[in-house]
Chains A and B, each alone.
Chain A
Amino acid sequence: MENQALGQVTSERLPVHFPDPIQVANCYQCGKCTAGCPVAMHMDVAPNQVVRLAQLGEWEKALRSRAIWECVGCQTCSTRCPKEVDCAGVMDALREASLARGMAAPGRYFVVAFQKIFLENIHRNGRLNELELIGHFKVDVLLHTGRIPFLFKDAGLAPQLGKRKKLHLIPGRARDRGVVERIFERCSGERKA
């Protein structure tokens, strides 16, 4: 995995390979994904246009778009798609490709950092270790931005998360590490390629 400085140009038209079940050619541009997307209004390129760029092979535009980082991965688009195109999967694959080529949109540092740290966390533990994630993320952002107050942002939410058992003090780990490794291998074909 080669992570380069964000925003640096590495490739122009290198194709992005989507995991097998995603067929962007199937999309007929009805726009239902955009219509249902809760964050589409914050995107520079609408979700259906992201898929369109993928159809056209306009990777540069797709990988540099802010839209792929605005996507919260709620899967509404994929669930509702009449052509069963996994739009959220497309977004995810594009995020990975964007990272791998150092083309992530500038000014999206928080999201990009979270994406990386979240996936590393899962990769390491096989399931989410919330405390470790919070620690890593906060420190990473602090080192990058030097904003100390950020360390305590959202800290007030911790008791509530604990009450709802969303915050595990003693994290569990996946027993079969091999399975986790295989999952990551299959999903991150792009990162290796």
Chain B
Amino acid sequence: MSRIGVFTCWCGENIARTVDVDEVAKRVAELPGVRCSLNYKYMCSDPGQAIVREKIATEKLDGVVVASCSPHMHLKTFRKAAQAAGLNPYLVEMANIREQCSWVHHDRVQATAKAFEIIRLSVEKARNDAALQPIRVPVTRRALVIGGGVAGIQAALDIADAGHEVVMVEREPSIGGKMAGLSETFPTLDCSQCILTPRMVEVGQHPRIKLYSYSEVEKVEGFVGNFRITIRQKARYVDVSKCTGCGECWIICPLKRNPSEFDYGMGMRPAIYIPFPQAVPARPVIDKSQCAKLIRNGCGLCEKKCKAEAINFKDEDRLVEEAVGAVVVATGYKLYSIAKSQPKATLAGYGEYGYGKYKDVIDSLQFERLVSASGPTGGVLKRPSDGAIPKSVVFISCVGSRDNAKGLPYCSKICCMYTAKHTMLYKHKVHDGQAHVFYMDIRAGGKGYDEFVRRAIEQDGAQYYRGRVSKITQEGGKLVVRGADTLAGMPVTIEADLVVLAAAMRPADGIEELAQKLNIGCDEFGFLLESHPKLRPVETNTAGIFIAGACHSPKDIPEAVAQASAAASKVQVMLAADELTREPEIAAINEQTCAACFTCIRTCPYHAIDRAELRTPRGAFIKNTARVNPGLCMGCGTCVSVCPSKSADLQGFTDQQVYAMVESLA
């Protein structure tokens, strides 16, 4: 016979107004297994908790039911109180007679009867409770950061400065991401490279950061605190440990006219190259699709020229394994490609803007390179077609963004700001030039942002038109832009020398594959999903994996950095101890009765169930079985409901408990 103590709370007037707490306490006392039943005005207050503690000790209670508010509100409070009195905290149940009874009923007699029934269920559950122990998971105190843009750099430096080792994986030959290619940043117009490159160098030289550039995440195994990451180091054909970064190789390379990825095709680079002079690591790579030696065993000049003997044409991809406890995903964004041919048919279009057809229709990142001091034109704005300085430039925002027909209904958030910045940069470079902007709305929420846009209009004379552009044609060396100004209610035609399209932000290529490897979710556009949009914005639904930056949603630099620091602090909390403690209310599988159908493995949304073998102590095979990984299970109960042999059960919420509760109502 169990010894349950039931503690009914008045919640001031909240419960007592509608429920006759004395009557309830009296009736509950007569239930089988109930040792004592009390009521008190505020059970969660210190004196209230003292009553619970005292009764556990004096009545030698082996179960506690608190009839009050929701478990979300105070289950932890009462579990702590029970633990303080020496009772296993998982023997405490809560009967919610406030939200589910007193607050939603008026009739005192009926509400009292219902409160009694609710408590009766909880008493039945408590009678079938088992003492549980929190799960302890060992933690590898290192972190992986995927992506070396500004968000990844911030997260890596924060974690490394806190004393933990960080592994950073960057797909490109250098870290720095998109920000390294920007000319200046809004709303201060400070030089992007000047603020980023010192941080990049810090990453490169940090004693606790291990940088894998030109590498990708190949495979992810394990679970929170214990991930095993396989990293593919792509063949660089340059031995990074020998190379001094002297530059002889890329100077001698005769194949100089390859479109530079870093300059988005606005400039050229050799077949052996570093993306930009401030690259970290400042070590070149050979583009195997362009190198004459690698294609047809020709040339080889760089190898002959290299005094450090760092060139290795026989280089191959290598797989390395790293053990980490937590992962920060910061893979960033790419621009919506305006070109007519698209992998997805819905995205195709904007042929009307002539991107790809007219050389002087470019996207915003290309414009950044054209006005950047480190860009292919050395900071002099020359248009791609003939190198002339454009006297009239049209900027078009919302190209792709907020376009339901293109399947991108979201706002890319930063285009309004960078377009305003572009008009200013343009005006500062070409004083007699005129910038025209077509916009639908100006979204400039942020510190100093709206003032910045107004400055572009009022001081730097950018001409803004509220309306979308319908078509761009080329007539006699001029681009004729046909748009509308809905404010004046009239069509507008502008002859431009250069057109800049503020294309939508989309998650970087390969995000869906990566999300699959990490077992985290992404939305219909490929942006990674957070665990809760308000309260858990940097966590994912997989424990130990965090997100930062534009891989989550369109973000500007300050936001990406803030989110990266937030993710880093979450990682630091995780890595602060050698062990992780998790709630024990998770699934368990009776391995004796498991029929090894593995339906549970297929349905588990957290990939928390593995195949295992039962063997005798001597090692003889008995049977196959499914086994729950306590580090991953979130206790959702999906396996319990699908198991045909009823071998899966949820600890602390067993089928037996549910049946007992239901039967008590009969």
Contacts and interface: CB of A to CB of B under 8 A. Distances in A.
Interface of A: 23, 25-26, 28-29, 48-49, 52-53, 55-56, 58, 61
Nearest to A50: B488
B457 A25 contact: yes
Given A29-B466, A52-B488, A56-B463, 12 more contacts: A23-B458, A25-B457, A26-B458, A28-B457, A48-B487, A49-B487, A49-B488, A53-B488, A56-B465, A56-B485, A58-B488, A61-B490
Given A28-B454, A29-B466, A52 B487 contact: yes
Interface of B: 454, 457-458, 461, 463, 465-466, 485, 487-490, 492
Contacts, number: 28
Contacts of B487: 29, 48-49, 52
B391 to A, nearest CB: 16
A26 B464 CA distance: 11
Majority-rule SS of A interface residues: helix
A29 B461 CA distance: 16
A8 B225 CA distance: 83
A49 B489 contact: yes
Contacts of A56: 463, 465, 485, 488, 492
A79 B463 CA distance: 25
A144 B466 CA distance: 44
Contacts of A52: 485, 487-488
A28 to B, nearest CB: 7
A90 to B, nearest CB: 14
6 contacts: A23-B458, A28-B454, A52-B487, A55-B463, A56-B485, A56-B492
Contacts of B490: 58, 61
The 4 closest A-B pairs by CB, nearest first: A52-B488, A52-B487, A25-B458, A29-B487
Q: Which of A23, A25, A29 has the most CB of B within 10 A?
A: A25
A48 B489 CA distance: 11
Nearest to A29: B487
Contacts of A25: 457-458, 461
Contacts of B458: 23, 25-26
A52 B457 CA distance: 13
Contacts of A49: 487-489
Nearest to B488: A52
A28 B462 CA distance: 13
A49 B488 CA distance: 5
B456 to A, nearest CB: 10
A60 B492 CA distance: 15
A93 B666 CA distance: 88
A138 B93 CA distance: 95
Nearest to B457: A25
Contacts of A48: 487
A3 to B, nearest CB: 29
B437 to A, nearest CB: 13
A170 to B, nearest CB: 49
